[in-house]
Structure 1
Amino acid sequence: MQYVTLNDGHKMPQLGFGVFQVPDLSQAEQAVSDALDTGYRLIDTAAAYGNEEAVGAAIQKSSVDRSDIFVTSKLWVDHFTYERATQGIDESLTKLGLDYLDLYLLHQPYGDVAGAWRALVDAQKAGKIKSIGVSNFAPDQLMNLELMSDVKPALNQIEVSPWFQEPTAVDFAKRQDIQVEAWAPFAEGQHHIFTNETIANIGKKYGKANGQVILRWLLQRGIVVIPKSVHKERMAENFNVFDFELSDADMQVLNGLDKNESQFFDHRDPAAIESIFGQSLKALRD
């Protein structure tokens, strides 16, 4: 396993396992158990995923020492005030059955970000969270947060895949000494990413599948990555990416695949923000 060192000094596995879109608790628990058995030591969940209890159950049952597992969760926007964020942190810890979180993120850049961030800072000081960061923040939103606090985010988790490479956001975070973590590295399978001929031809050189090439490309960009699967054989395949290195030429070919196309939605589109997050944010005023 490769590790990165965050700007607060804590070490984090560079390859992890995510449980986004695994709402079934028994399936999520089994997936995390299988991931830990496979060798993953970074597990990523969120309050909004509805499976923190299952993640915690798998960790409690695992023979892997808690100190060797890097656990991440995220706060949803319906808790974005200081008071509700403080409550949300405790709720995540309770559901996970943990004394501390290795990393806790603001899940989206909307609502009372300043109040929620202060709650994360205080929870870090209290020892409830080792590292704090954000998710889905654009460069200007990151800078705004930096200007309003003495504590810089350790990490920004954003969508990064061959079809949506986010070079500006990645480069900005690196200049700010903020670690980038990629969600949806396989772009939800869109545009036949697992059979794409260009990626497959690169994979043939190394005896690797398309997914392994993509993960290796992200790792070599210095990005933490959290692929998801509920199939243990695919988990093992995704984990088997540390025995080869892409050439500079192959990296450039992959860099040329960028469509600048999110497979989800535009986080800067007001209509999308209102549609997806409006109800959660309005609930804060009720």
Structure 2
Amino acid sequence: MQTVKTTNGVEIPQLGYGVYEMTSEEVREHLPQALQLGYRHVDTANAYFNEVAVGEAINNSGIPRDQIFLTTKIYPADYGTQETMPAIDASLKRLGTDYVDLLLLHHPYGKYVEAWPVLEQALAEGKVRSIGVSNFPIKKINEIAEVASIFPQVMQIEMNPRHNQHDFKEQLIGRGVVFEGWYPLGHGDPELLNMPVFTALAEKYGKTNAQIIERWHMQEGNVIFPKTLSVEHMKQNLDIFDFELTDDEMARIDAIPQKPYYVVPEQAPDFFMQKYDYSTQVRPFKNTLLQK
């Protein structure tokens, strides 16, 4: 598995298994399959309401904990000088582990500036190995930077060939930020998946259109989490490391007109700021983003 490094030398597998909008039952069924096939990066969040099931799957896998890269995220209602460390400790307890490999602030609302030094403290205490943010615009990243001893090491955002985030990356060039992409296949949009450029390259390399997009991500240096409950698709996702796109082919994909699928609201929707009982492990809301 290919990896990328954070500024403090932590290696992140580029291909991960995301459990967004998966029930605990689905996690218990499908995450063990992914781990058995070779996935070694799992991405969850306290607001996914499935951390307990994720922890059980990892701890029952027979795979040493230090061979699985585990990410979780803290929701905005849990940001703050007094609130964030208890939220981190609660996630660790639900996950059945004494550390996570990456901890992210999930959304750019509430007391994120106050929360950041707490993430740095958790890093110093060994509760996390790397820290970052998710869905943050550059303005709010810069607000964090003003109080930070450690610049965010990871940025997780929507990223796919129709929203390649090159402009965003340019603004953070030289910072060593690792970029992670959710919805790396454009949420399965047939208009994206069936573009002629991907069909032609899939025929050339004997791959699927989705595998061509995933390979583009690898060569972009992105970390991705293509969600699937299908064992066959899990296998296909892992089968992208035996070929390489040429510079010209990468450029053809980069030339695709840009159009994000989702928008992160400027103001926080009410459910972002509500306190939740994560012990229920049942998600009380449907979506955290607005479809364009």
User: What is the TM-score normalised by the length of structure 2?
Assistant: 0.90
Q: How well do the aligned residues superpose, as a CA RMSD in angstroms?
A: 1.6
Residues 157 and 181, structure 1, Cα contact 8 Å, conserved in 2: yes
Q: CA deviation at 1:198?
A: 2.2
Tell me which residue corresponds to 2:189: 190
**Letter matched to residue 281 of structure 1:** M
Residues 173 and 179, structure 1, Cα contact 8 Å, conserved in 2: no
- Give the percent of matched residue pairs that are identical in Structure 1 and Structure 2: 34
Secondary structure of the 2:132 match is: strand
Distance 1:173 1:66 in 2: 32
Q: After TM superposition, what 4+ stretches of structure 1 lie above 3 angstroms from structure 2?
A: none
**Letter matched to residue 280 of structure 1:** F
Distance 2:75 2:134 in 1: 11
Distance 2:144 2:28 in 1: 34
Q: CA deviation at 1:147?
A: 1.9
How big is each residue's C-alpha offset from its partner over 1:194-246, in whole Å with a ceiling of 9 and x where there is no partner? Answer: 33322111111111111111111011011111111111110110111100000
Residues 32 and 58, structure 1, Cα contact 8 Å, conserved in 2: yes
Distance 1:109 1:148 in 2: 16
Distance 1:148 1:49 in 2: 29
Q: Which has the higher helix share?
A: 1
How big is each residue's C-alpha offset from its partner over 1:71-102, in whole Å with a ceiling of 9 and x where there is no partner? Answer: 00000011011221111101110111011101
In the TM superposition, 1:73-152 aligns within 5 A as: 73-152=72-151
Tell me which residue corresponds to 1:209: 208
In the TM superposition, 1:1-286 aligns within 5 A as: 1-22=1-22, 24-259=23-258, 261-264=259-262, 266-267=263-264, 269-270=265-266, 273-274=267-268, 276=269, 278-281=270-273
Residues 46 and 91, structure 2, Cα contact 8 Å, conserved in 1: yes
Residues 185 and 226, structure 2, Cα contact 8 Å, conserved in 1: yes
Residues 156 and 179, structure 1, Cα contact 8 Å, conserved in 2: yes
Distance 1:112 1:6 in 2: 25
**Letter matched to residue 99 of structure 2:** Y
Q: CA deviation at 1:149?
A: 1.1
Question: Aligned pair in 2 of structure 1 residues 60, 136: CA closer, same or farther (>3 Å)?
Answer: same
Q: CA deviation at 1:191?
A: 4.4
Distance 1:85 1:195 in 2: 43
Q: CA deviation at 1:151?
A: 1.2
How big is each residue's C-alpha offset from its partner over 1:96-141, in whole Å with a ceiling of 9 and x where there is no partner? Answer: 1011101000001111111111211111111111111111112222
Residues 193 and 210, structure 1, Cα contact 8 Å, conserved in 2: no
Q: What are structure 1's unaligned runs of at least 5 residues?
A: none
